[in-house]
Amino acid sequence: MLVLSSPSGAGKTTLSRMLLEAEAELEMSVSVTTRPMRPGEVDGKDYIFKDKQEFATMRDNGELLEWAEVFGNCYGTPKAAVSEALVGGCDILFDIDWQGTQQLRESMSKDIVSVFLLPPSAKALSERLKTRAQDPPDVVADRMSKASDELSHWAEYDYIIVNHELAESLQELRGVLAAERLKRRTGLAEFVRQLQADL
C-alpha cells in the first residue's frame, strides 16, 4: 500500500494520476466521501459519493480501513476493495491525509509505504489552490490556514518529495515504488533455497 499525502494544492492528485498511468500493476484506492461532487468527477472512479448517514453506517459496520473528517466532510477507505486488490497481486495507491495514514499504520503497518508531498513554497501552494478554481475563496483560505497543521506531520512519513516540478516528482515517486517492490518481493526464500540446493 503506497500512501501519498500532502496539504491541499501541493499536487498529489495530479501526481497520483500520472503515477497510475506510468505503473501498470498499481491501482487507486477509491475513497468514500460525503463531500459534494466537483465538476468532471465520476462517482465510483474519483470517489464513491455517499451521504452522511450512509458513510456513518459503513464506518459503524467496520467496512472502512480508515476514515477522517476533513474540512467538514468525511473520507474513508473501503476495506473490501483494498483486500481484493492486494490478494490479486496489485499494489494500491492511497491519496489520504495524515489522519488516515496513522490509522492504516495501526492496522496494517507491514504493508504500508508512505510519501509526503511538499509544495515548493507557500506562495506556490496558494496560487495552485486559487488557479484550480474548484473551491470558493473562503474554502481556499481555510485550506491555506490548515496547511501548516498538515505540514507538521511530514516527519511521520517514510519518504519526502518536494514538488518543484511534476516530471521530477513523478520520477522520484516511481523510484520509491521500485525500491519498495524490490524490498518486498514474495517467493524469494523458496528461490534462494532452490538455488542453494542446485549448487
Q: Whole-angstrom Cα distance, residue 27 to residue 78?
A: 14
Question: Do 66 and 104 meet the contact criterion of CB atoms below 8 Å apart?
Answer: yes
Q: Cβ(91)–Cβ(26) under 8 Å?
A: yes
Q: Is the pLDDT of residue 134 over 70?
A: no
pLDDT tens-place string over residues 53-105: 999 999 999 999 999 888 889 999 999 988 888 888 889 999 888 888 999 99
Helix, strand, coil shares, percent, the chain, to 5 = 50, 20, 30
In order of 28, 29, 37, 111, 124, the CA distances from 92 in angstroms are 6, 6, 23, 10, 29
Q: What is the DSSP string of 91-105?
A: EEEEE--HHHHHHHH
pLDDT of 9 reads 78
pLDDT of residue 46: 86
Domain spans in the chain, listed from the N-terminal domain onward = 2-183
Separation CA 188–CA 90 (nearest Å): 18
Q: What pLDDT was estimated at residue 144?
A: 75
Alpha-carbon Rg of the chain, whole angstroms? 18
Global confidence as pTM: 0.81
Q: Residue 73's pLDDT is what?
A: 93
pLDDT in tens, 9-23: 788 888 999 999 999
Instruction: Tell me the pLDDT tens digit for each residue of 29-42.
Output: 999 999 999 888 99
Please state which CATH class domain 2-183 belongs to.
Answer: alpha beta
Q: Among 8-12, 120-124, 163-167, which range has the highest average pLDDT?
A: 163-167
Amino acid (one-letter) located at 114: S
Cell of 9: 494544492
Please check the confidence at residue 168 and state whether its pLDDT lies above 90.
Answer: yes
Model confidence pLDDT, tens digit, residues 147-162 = 888 888 999 999 999 9
* Cα–Cα distance measured from residue 143 to residue 153, given in angstroms and rounded to the nearest whole number: 16
Residue 93, all three cell numbers: 495507491
